[in-house]
Amino acid sequence: MSDKKMAFNTKTIHGGQEPDKAYGSVMPPIYQTSTYAQSTPGGHRGYEYSRSGNPTRHALEMSLASIENGSFGLAFGSGLAAIDAVMKLLSPGDEVISTNDLYGGSYRLFTRIFEGFGIKFHFVGMQDAGAVEALVNENTKLIWVETPTNPMMNVIDVSAMVAIARKHKLLLAVDNTFATPYLQQPLDMGADIVMHSATKYLGGHSDVVMGALVVNDKDLADRLFFIQNASGAVPGPMDSFLVLRGIKTLHVRMQRHCENGAAVARFLRQHPKVGKVYWPGFEDHPNHEVAKAQMKDFGGMISFIPKGGEFRDAIAIVEALKVFTLAESLGGVESLAGHPASMTHASIPKTEREKSGVVDALVRLSVGIEDVEDLIADLDSALGAF
């Protein structure tokens, strides 16, 4: 069956995959090798050095392309290494427009590394397409979208961003880490580049750090493959195997993340000790209609503020949780809780952070796939801690 005809769940398991040619192994072997024997100089069988290519990584890259409905997949040593490769498409003097509610590590990479190389970044509330277009000038080359945003769960209208990018001939990249292709497929909406921290939902088991890019355009793919090989931030074969294995259950995990996320969001919202709850599934979420139109469901990421909005209450809650683990990261099978202001978003200056709502009392949850009664009981008891 050709890949293009497969439905999503089938693609997560079979997309771009065929049994190994040597012995028919159903999973690709972990080709734990740096180099490959040649019969004569240049006489190799498709692989010469594992920075340039490795069969296990290649199997993963084919799967990544398939699940995002793209033509080319590229795996990197981390999500940030994948973003770094995209930024290396640019030259000094170029400008980028991105959201003001951005993953802290992306913000740090943009402002502390690439601004030093002469690239200018604009951060704006991307829910307002007019505000984005107002920043476009002759130097603008790239729009960098992250949706839903981390940790405020704003939803950006990808089609509106695509329209601006097309009109002004800009590249449009979407960080699809939070939604995953189970919930939304940005290339189908007209994006040029999809990026993932595969560390999160794609890997899904909190056992690997990895990044990914998927594109359709051959020229763009060639430029990115060149950067991947020239800069060398590639993942190893063992990690490639683990993420490939993770992707095979992406759809069932995501379905449960969404179900549990909805139950936890509704529980928090009616709790007397909880103030604001941020989750795009609520009908009164400011971007709910956009979320409904571009996403299949609303995901398992939720942020909330304890009633009263005190920093010390947020800390008391995250310390009291027992089933939720207090940890960085998200998207694994286990539920995690985080305190963005001191953890994931500590690299963003306080004044910048608070402009987008990341206040000191904000708590972020990555709702896992445990029995939801246990998650709710854990939150209920932790909310009693202040």
Catalytic residue among 200, 253, 353, 364: 200
Q: Are 187 and 214 in contact (CB under 8 A)?
A: yes
The verdict on whether 175 is a catalytic residue reads yes
Whole-number minimum distance, CB 386 to ligand PLP, in Å?
A: 28
Our CB check for ligand PLP shows the closer of 82 and 376 to be: 82
Q: Which of 3, 20, 36, 51 is catalytic?
A: 51
| Residue 255 CB-density burial (10 A; 0-12 exposed, 13-18 middle, 19+ buried) | middle
Whether 277 and 302 have beta carbons less than 8 Å apart is answered as: yes
Q: Among residues 69 and 106, whose Cβ is nearest to ligand PLP?
A: 106
CA 80, CA 212: separation in Å to the nearest integer?
9
Q: Which of 125, 146, 137, 124 is nearest to 94 (CA)?
A: 137
**28 secondary structure, DSSP code:** P
Question: If DSSP codes are grouped into helix, strand and coil, which group holds residue 185?
Answer: coil
- Closest approach, Cβ 210 to ligand PLP, in A, equals 6
Q: CB nearer to ligand PLP: give 320 or 364.
A: 364
Q: How far is the CB of 331 from ligand PLP (least distance, A)?
A: 8
Distance CA 142, CA 169 (A): 9
Residue 192 CB partners (closer than 8 Å, separation 6+): 165, 171, 172, 173, 215, 216, 217, 220
107 vs 153: CA distance, rounded Å: 17
d(CA 28, CA 317): 44
Is residue 151 reached through a cis peptide bond, with omega within 30 degrees of 0 on the bond before it? yes
Catalytic residue among 31, 103, 107, 182: 103
Does 103 participate in catalysis according to the annotation?
Answer: yes
Catalytic residue among 84, 101, 157, 175: 175
Q: How far is the CB of 263 from ligand PLP (least distance, A)?
A: 23
322 is catalytic: no
What's the number of CA atoms in the CB half-sphere (13 Å) around residue 60?
A: 32
Given its phi and psi angles, is residue 300 left (phi above 0), alpha (psi -120 to 50 degrees) or beta? alpha
Query: C-beta of 145: minimal distance to ligand PLP in Å?
Result: 11
Name the residue nearer to ligand PLP (CB basis): 170 or 194: 194
Binding site for ligand PLP (CB under 6 A): 78-80, 103, 105-106, 146, 150, 175, 177-178, 197, 199-200, 209, 211
| Of 178 and 324, CB closest to ligand PLP | 178
Is the Cβ of residue 243 or residue 323 nearer to ligand PLP in the bound state? Answer: 243
Minimal distance, residue 146 CB to ligand PLP, in Å: 6
Enumerate the active-site residues. Answer: 51, 103, 175, 200
